[in-house]
Amino acid sequence: MLRDLDLGTLARYIDWGPFFQTWDLAGAYPQLLDDPKVGAAARNVLQDGQAMLAEIVAGNWLTANAVCGLFPANRSGDDIVLFKDETRTDAAMTWRGLRQQQERPDGKAQQCLADFVAPAGTADYAGAFAVTAGIGIEDKLAEFAAAHDDYRAIMLKALADRLAEAAAEWLHERVRKDYWGYAADEALDLRALVREEYRGIRPAPGYPACPDHTAKAGLFDLLDAPRNAGMGLTENFAMTPAASVAGFFLAHPDARYFAVSKIGRDQLADWAARSGMSVAEAERWLAPVL
């Protein structure tokens, strides 16, 4: 449990690239700033964003919290079982995996995140985390609404999102170098972090490698994210505050992100059975990949 993270520290981990998507400014950062069509607009919103970021840090407009845990883990088929202790007998959470079923180039396997965790009989580990940088945002948004300042409200939401992602980046670095320590000698600058040159990944429920949003329920229970980080889930598994990130840490040196894309009815039925759901319920949650 890490409460009231230093916003100035998190600001140094911001990847500004996705920030421009809020303003419908397409292009790679920082090249976007010199684009003949949108460069001037991009420079203006970046200047405004960095100015507001300084206000956020100086005035402590937001509170950022984080919680993470490292657990003995093994794969079981396409699932990853996180255990309560080193006896590896009692499961703290079972993360139900999905495997690619689309055609792959010759020699390329159809991947599942469970492939990056060792099977039973080999000691392995996995991590889980939840971070938010959105606590306290409502007061400032109300202030901007009262002033009819939509621009600054949108800017604040965009910056809170960037700070939440920065918190995840900062925490992952701490895990690699200190808490888990499998990359204690890592020395990467922000550009290298953005390019994900480190060992390991942090897949998040709802993203292409893990399109199952329901995994957030087990994850939040595992970490007691409401108590430890002030975070919650809606009935549709959206996180509150909105500027939040949650997921898992996998350390396998070959771990890479991928997209599950579309799955067949056979895997749907198998995943439903493993998850204790009816096929109809599973269809609801996995509709985007069916």
In the prediction, which pLDDT does 189 show?
96
Q: 159 pLDDT exceeds 90?
A: yes
Q: 238 pLDDT exceeds 90?
A: yes
| pLDDT bucket at 103, cuts 50 / 70 / 90 | confident
- Across the chain, mean pLDDT equals 96
SS3 content of the chain, % helix, strand, coil (to 5): 40, 20, 40
What value does the mean pLDDT take over residues 228-235? 97
| pLDDT bucket at 3, cuts 50 / 70 / 90 | confident
Name 250's bridge partners: 201
What value does the mean pLDDT take over residues 223-232? 97
pLDDT digits (tens, 9 = 90+) for 242-270: 999 999 999 999 999 999 999 999 999 99
Q: Where along the chain do its domains lie? A: 7-69+124-259
Q: How far is CA 138 from the centre of its chain?
A: 22
Q: 232 pLDDT exceeds 80?
A: yes
The CATH architecture to which 7-69+124-259 belongs is: Orthogonal Bundle (1.10)
pLDDT digits (tens, 9 = 90+) for 50-72: 999 999 999 999 999 999 999 99
Q: 1 pLDDT exceeds 80?
A: no
Contact 98, 271 (CB under 8 A): yes
pLDDT digits (tens, 9 = 90+) for 271-280: 999 999 999 9
CA geometry: angle 112, 288, 25, nearest 5 deg: 100
Contact 179, 70 (CB under 8 A): yes
What value does the mean pLDDT take over residues 125-151? 97
Cα–Cα distance measured from residue 221 to residue 128, given in angstroms and rounded to the nearest whole number: 11
pLDDT digits (tens, 9 = 90+) for 202-214: 999 999 999 999 9
Q: 9 pLDDT exceeds 80?
A: yes
Cα–Cα distance measured from residue 262 to residue 196, given in angstroms and rounded to the nearest whole number: 26
